Amino acid sequence: MDKWFSEIENTVLTRLDYMLAQRTDAPYPSLVVTSANQNQVTAFPTLYIHELEPVETGQDLVNQSINAVISTFEAQVWTNETEIECRKILADVISEMKGMRFNVTAFPNVQTDNKIAWGVARFRRMIGSGDTL
């Protein structure tokens, strides 16, 4: 069985990292993009993007392969600047995720704690075995 579905998170992370780095108007040239779960952020700004539990969909009668998954991603941003910078980064993430045809299921919720601005957004789409992100 083809394991295309196991590469979705890496593909999304790689594309986001590349596309955000290509933005000439980005006010955050040192953005760290990662999917590694970290208990403590050591660099600012940081974008942590990870796939939440995908769900199989599009089963056929034979049911011997995975035809499609419903994939949900969460983007978390930390910055030691302002909530405005956090929102700008998340707005660019939304733009890139929309470019990959994801729906925004939770628009950015941004807050500040101990001078660290933190924001989160979520995205979802069905990805078929032959789809290109």
The CATH classification number of 4-128 equals: 3.30.2000.30
What order do you get walking across the sheet with 103-113 strand by strand? 32-34, 46-57, 68-79, 116-128, 103-113
Handedness of CA 5, 129, 133, 52 (dihedral sign): negative
Q: State the chain's maximal CA–CA distance in angstroms.
A: 55
Q: If you search the block for the tokens 């955050």, which residue do you land on?
A: 28
Q: Tens of pLDDT along 11-68?
A: 999 999 999 888 777 777 788 998 887 666 778 999 999 999 999 998 888 888 899 9
Q: Where are the domains of the chain?
A: 4-128
pTM for the structure as a whole: 0.89
